[in-house]
Copies of this chain bind each other. A is one copy, B any other.
Amino acid sequence: MNKITILIYCKDRANIIASVTNFIAKKGGNIVYIDQHVDREQDIFFMRLESEFNDKDFCTDNFKTIFKEGLADKFEMKWRVYSSEKKPKMALFISKYDHCLYDLLGRYNSGELNLEIPFIISNHLDLKTIADNFKIPFYHIPVTKSTKQDAEAQQLALLKANKIDFIVLARYMQIISKTLINEYPNKIINIHHSFLPAFVGAKPYHSAYKRGVKIIGATSHYVTEELDAGPIIEQDVTRVTHTHAISDLITKGRDLEKIVLANAVKLHSERKVLVFNNKTVVFS
């Protein structure tokens, strides 16, 4: 049994759903999941579809060719086809905070995440023991103003050598350069410790405290060149009161950050996210 996931978007027009489902059926596929959305403002059609093929000789690469020629080109679709057999490879970038790291590795260990983590990169050595405990290769690549370019070249080499599909910044605390962003467009996931677009930039818990908000949040988004302005994948919030000092906001926020980032990682690795016009479509 071969199972593939297809993600599509294109200009909306009549009969797309029937055309796609008909095409799959004719190629011998059984559709087991379909979800679609039409953005009426932009007039764009989005779809996610899972299909099973019993044919022993089924080949995902062949399917891509006939899908492109027989259907996608006709509708001028942007599309991606994934085989469920190939787990996505995720690189973890960390720094000194351990809460998101523990959380992701705990989930990884328990089988909750359907992905591979070939390695962890950090600009500090503080969390090496954790990587060791979980038996994941750890690369220490310090970053200073003068070494930033070199550091990034090392990172990029590691990413390429390991055929990394996407990067997760688990409180990495460094600005990602244009070069890396362009190599991994909508494939670098960040966790920002505020309810975006409120409190962009550094020290959002301090700003939240100063403004006296009654709810704090965390936001996971794809990294784009503009700081904290990329497409939002997932957000969550929790209540606070005047009794919470900044340190309390930080502690409470950690629980949000962990869960929001883990959810974003799951959605991305299960190929449930499409990006259009700096916004996400997150399929069910």
Copies in the complex: 4
The stretch of A68-76, A154-162, A195-203 in contact with B is: A195-203
- Which chain A residues numbered 241 to 280 have a C-beta less than 8 Å away from chain B? 241-243, 245-246, 251, 254-255, 259, 262, 278-280
- The number of chain A residues with a CB under 8 A from chain B is 64
Q: Indicate if the CB atoms of A212 and B279 lie closer than 8 Å.
A: yes
Which residues of A229-250 have CB atoms within 8 Å of chain B's CB atoms? 231-237, 241-243, 245-246
CA distance A235 to B212 in the complex (A): 11
A58, CB-defined interface residue at 8 Å: no
Main secondary structure of the interface of A (DSSP, over half): mixed
Shortest CB distance A13–B (Å) = 9
Contact of A280 among B235, B242, B259, B281 (CB under 8 A): B242
Q: Which residues of B contact A98 (CB under 8 A)?
A: 106, 109-110
A196 to B243, CA, bound (A): 19
Contacts A17-B34, A215-B235 known; 19 new A-B pairs at CB < 8 A: A18-B22, A19-B25, A22-B25, A32-B38, A34-B36, A98-B109, A99-B106, A99-B110, A103-B106, A196-B198, A196-B211, A197-B198, A211-B279, A212-B231, A212-B232, A214-B235, A215-B217, A215-B236, A237-B237
Residues of A in contact with B (beta carbons under 8 Å apart) = 14-15, 17-19, 21-22, 24-25, 30-41, 98-99, 102-103, 106, 109-110, 112, 133, 195-199, 211-215, 217, 231-237, 241-243, 245-246, 251, 254-255, 259, 262, 278-282, 284
